[in-house]
Amino acid sequence: MKKSPKGPWVIIMMALLLVAVMLILGNQSFKATEKAAFDEFNQRQLVLARGAAGGIELYFETLAGDLRALGRMPQVQHLDEAPTRREIQHTFDQAEYSYYKYEDSSGQYTREKKEEKLIAYAPIHLGNEVWAIGVWAPKEDARQLIRSAYLRQLLVVGLSLLTILLGSSYSLAAFYRTSKFLEKEVETKTGELEESHERLLKVLDSLDAVVYVADMETYEILFVNEYLRNLFGHVVGKTCWQTLQVGQSGPCDFCTNEKLLVASGEPSTVYGWELQNTVTGRWYEIRDRAIRWVDGRIVRLEIAIDITERVRAEEALEAARALQQSLIDEERQRIARELHDGLAQLLGYVTTKAMAVRLMLKNRQMEAADQHLLQLEEAARELYVDVRQAILDLNMTGQSAAGLTATLKDFTAQSSRLSGLPVELAIAPAVESLSLTAETELQLLRIVQEALTNVRKHASATKVWISLQISDGVLEMTVSDDGQGFDPDRVPTTHRPHFGLGTMRERAEAIGAEFDLDSEPGAGTRVTVRLAVKDLP
């Protein structure tokens, strides 16, 4: 901010200028006053001379008779009248003349210094003769009288002007101090305003959100923050619907301008909504509000927060819920199938055996009844294991959130204790840190569960091996046993109760994995699932 050049020097210069003007005007006034005083003094001398002339005329009127009587005497010498009249004019007036000054000390007239006198002449008529009377005074004496009075008057005027000057100087000094104070205050407030403006810009630029202001009539962009500049560049001065959106031939159909004003045209409250931007393809949670701009017009302030990740998370959550519901439905179907294929048939078997035992006991076939009771005991034991295994399978579904390897370790340990079948689990360290989707982990767990169920029910195995390894970006999971094996080509895949092979294959294909079954009679069975994981995080 430029500082004002005004200061004490301006007041001093103005005071000196005022004194100079006063001296010049005083000198001119003195000369004019002196001339007027001299004229008035001459007029008074003239009046005095005329008064004296009248008195002399009256005096000499009486004397004239005596003079004429004397003039008729033969002893009086007569002078020529004409030359005398030429020496004295018929008309007289006041005038100024210079004379040699008479010095009383020397009794002589000085030739070096002449003395100016003010003289007033008046004619004296004595009969036919004209005489003259002159009244004079030294001009310097008159000047001293005039100057003394003028100086007194000038002193009064000077004191008045000095008082005015001092008052004006004090007023100017006070004005200057006030002006400097106000100037400093304005400078301070301007600096504070600029600092506040800079802080506001820094705050707006630091926001992880879009902030911009647009004219509500012309749609001209008036302000954007750094976040928006990074997305769209320098767009201030451009039209918002042409710059921030694509495929628009006019103002956007979803523009909220009309929702931001009340009926009187004044700004309303904040309006919130969500939109997917047609340029970036990202979702934003938007807050719009009409505000007064610096020039008084009403503009639209928009703050938009990127919620793309939230929307994707919501979509993923919705998909997960759908998957969960699908898995629940599938689990219900599996449980129903297990109940039908296992528990229902076994209970039917138990019922049949019980009826046979009852008949044998009635016929006192004790030895045969005992054999059937042993078979019933074995069936009840198998039924107990199936029920506990079903409960374990359900628990594994709830524990799948703990991760693939942790759930597998817990499930295989419990399954081994329940069935009495040893299970050896080998998991490579790279698999421990592998991140898989919840659906992928659940499907892999279900395949292991189905394979162990098949081994327990059909393989007559003494041991099971489960392995998870990663090689060349491929996760390979195998479940193998030393059981009796079978011929895969002779297993009808359309009949689900036969070993659940179709179910395992469908689960593998659902996560984009390959399913392979290797078995032959007397050589055990090996189930392999291969899943590409090189593109997974």
The pLDDT tens digits of the residues spanning 30-71 come to 677 767 766 776 676 667 666 766 676 666 566 556 655 655
| Residue 532 predicted with pLDDT over 80 | yes
Domains of the chain, with CATH numbers? Answer: 8-73+80-162 (no CATH), 208-306 (3.30.450.20), 308-402 (no CATH), 403-537 (3.30.565.10)
Share of the chain above pLDDT 90, in %: 25
| Nearest Cα residue to 304 out of 375, 197, 227, 247 | 227
Which residues are bridge partners to 99 per DSSP? 115
- Answer for the pair 339, 311: CB distance below 8 angstroms, yes or no: no
- CA separation (Å) from 362 to 154, 377, 396? 162, 20, 46
Tens of pLDDT, residues 403-457: 788 888 888 888 788 778 899 999 998 888 888 888 888 889 889 888 888 888 8
| Residue 79 predicted with pLDDT over 60 | no
Number of neighbouring beta carbons within 10 Å of residue 172: 18
Count of H-run helices and E-run strands, the chain = 12, 13
- DSSP-assigned letter for residue 374: H
- CA atoms within 13 A of residue 425's CA, in its CB half-sphere: 20
Least trusted range by pLDDT, from 104-113, 286-295, 352-361, 369-378: 104-113
Mean pLDDT of the chain: 77
| Nearest Cα residue to 129 out of 93, 164, 73, 79 | 79
Token pair recorded at residue 333 = 């179907």
Return the SS3 of 454.
Answer: helix
Q: How confident is the model at residue 88 (pLDDT cuts 50, 70, 90)?
A: very low
Number of neighbouring beta carbons within 10 Å of residue 446: 24
Residues listed for the chain: 537
Which residues are bridge partners to 464 per DSSP? 423, 481
